[in-house]
Chain A
Amino acid sequence: MNLWRLEVLRLTRTKKWVALMGVYVAFGLIGPLTARYIEQILSRVGASDGTTITVPPPTPADGLIQYVSNASQIGTLVVVIVAAGALAFDAIPEMGVFLRTRVSPTWKILVPRLVVSFGAAAGAFLIGTGVAWYETWTLLGAPQTVPVLAGAGLGIVFLAFVVALTGAVAQRMRSVLSTVMTSLLVLITMPIVGLAPSISRWLPTSLANALADLPAGGTMLDYWPALGVTVVATAALTWAACAWSGRREV
């Protein structure tokens, strides 16, 4: 038993991996299906006054757009909750005392939690993306491979940012709930700030849409600024989380 195995057990025994996997795989299944049958769905639930709803024929990119539009929000919420449960290790002070009096320096407690949380989130996101990709291919036609892979890569960088942000916030908060709420507040504020076009291309949250945008004809050039900012911010937040965890009084 060591700190790495402890984190793997936290995911498996608390069934948190099921929540992560379930969200991404479910949206991976539902997204392309919705894109393929959106016209039929709208005609069934549409108005009974004779209005005709016309939807353009779905393209392969639409399958991934539907997946991303659903998974980027609910998926990110689940990632924050799962990560906060692992990273806020002082939320129950007696548990914090158990680890802090045995492991020094404190960043050694934090690193396995950051890595395993990120690994689980990235794995679930990749599997969900694979499911969405396969189903899009069977229902709507094959999306271009390189843009999908690039979009998935940028999505993973965004998840690394989310986990690092949650890790840093957890070292300043006293509970899991306050860690979740504060992290979500930061993540929700970014798209609002990004309403200004000159700012949006620099924000980490724009990477979450890359998997929808790139197969639909977007270009990587639009994502380099956000990628740079996100990598630097992730490194800075990870460093801050490690530094703050060492200074904290329990």
Chain B
Amino acid sequence: MIRTRGLIKRYGTHAALDGVDLSVPAGSVYGLAGPNGAGKTTLLGILAGLKESTEGEVAVEAAPGEIAVLPDTPRFDPWLTGREVVTLALTLGSRDRTSTAGDDADRVAEVLFQSGLSEASDRRCGGYSRGMLQRLGIACTLVARPTLILLDEPASALDPQGRREVLDLITTLRGQATVLFSSHILGDVQEVCDTVGILHHGHLLFQGPLSDLLVGRAVPRYVVKVRSDADAIAAALERSDWVRSSTATAGGVIHLEVTSLDDAERLLPSALAAAGAAVVSLGPEEVSLERAFLELTS
């Protein structure tokens, strides 16, 4: 659906993107993760046709009218009602010239309901909160049924409940449209995306299925929580030849990197008992996108 080759964008001498080879499969929910300033918004801007690349190739298999973009802080003319904004988005973005006014009104009402704005839809959006504007932006993005949706930090301004609803909404788009979703909140990316790209200082450090990133980066780890003396217990465990490293952190939590999970399962309980540990809990540490991200970018 989207393919870039050696994409470079320079602002003066600063390269916001430096040789990005992006590949977004059709129908996927692609998460573009990276810290602030990584180049995510610039990359989305180029894909949306809002910016020119300095060098490189960009191929987007969608006509301009089939692409919908949601900026990170959407804003609209404050004297329009929410319903008018979404109706305008449908009129401007719609490819279906045969739909009637009634069809359009139904579609607008449907996305306003999906976005949780039905009650506020006839109020002028100048009085909307930031979260409501974000929801209105999402409604505008979805209303014309685009084939490619570019979302720039879509949940960053929302409260936890709003964030949950937006992530659920994105999940429902899988199969209906190709979604490219940028975020610095790695948990969101891990939750809704099947393919992920890690962008850092303009470089695409990793790209592929999320499972490849997590499994490929997986190092056998265990997490143990003890009642007290975490430092001493960590030091005692580190002397075992099946423990590669042992680090005590706040709250009595000990992170162990072990030679294998099998070794830990067999040997860890006796080692803890020998160290006199009062164990609260223990178990294998799940590899998160955050840890993989930190390993990639460190």
Contacts and interface: CB of A to CB of B under 8 A. Distances in A.
Interface string A1-35: 11100100110011000000000000000000000
B11 to A, nearest CB: 10
B51 A1 contact: no
B56 interface: no
B123 to A, nearest CB: 13
Contacts of B76: 95, 98
Contacts of A95: 75-77
A250 B50 contact: yes
A92 B68 CA distance: 18
A97 B84 CA distance: 17
Contacts of B71: 93-94, 97
B91 A1 contact: yes
B73 interface: yes
B29 interface: no
A103 B48 CA distance: 12
A37 to B, nearest CB: 41
Contacts of B45: 249-250
Nearest to A3: B92
Contacts of B64: 101, 104
Interface residues of B, number: 28
Interface in A54-88: none
Interface string B58-82: 0000001101110101111101100
B154 to A, nearest CB: 13
A102 interface: yes
A100 interface: yes
A99 B91 CA distance: 11
Given A101-B67, A250-B45, A92 B75 contact: yes
Interface in B207-257: none
A92, A94, A103, A250 — most chain B CB neighbours (10 Å)? A94
Interface in B75-111: 75-77, 79-80, 84, 87-89, 91-93
- The binding surface of chain A is classed by DSSP as helix
Contacts of A100: 49-50
Interface string B33-48: 0000000000001001
B52 interface: yes
Contact of A6 (B49, B73, B77, B93): B77
Interface residues of A, number: 22
B7 interface: no
Given A94-B75, A95-B77, A250-B45, A101 B68 contact: yes
B79 A98 contact: no
B140 interface: yes
B65 A104 contact: yes
B126 to A, nearest CB: 10
Contacts of A249: 45, 50-52
Given A97-B69, A101-B68, A10 B51 contact: no
A95 B69 CA distance: 12
B91 A2 contact: yes
A99 B64 CA distance: 12
Contacts of B68: 101-102
A242 to B, nearest CB: 17
Nearest to B90: A1
B50 A94 contact: no
B67 to A, nearest CB: 6
A13 B74 contact: no
A190 B76 CA distance: 36
Contacts of B49: 100-101, 104
Nearest first, the 6 A-B pairs at minimum CB distance are: A102-B92, A13-B79, A94-B75, A101-B69, A1-B87, A104-B64
Given A9-B80, A97-B71, A103-B92, 17 more contacts: A1-B91, A3-B92, A6-B80, A9-B79, A10-B77, A92-B75, A93-B71, A94-B71, A94-B74, A97-B69, A98-B76, A101-B48, A101-B64, A101-B67, A101-B69, A249-B50, A250-B50
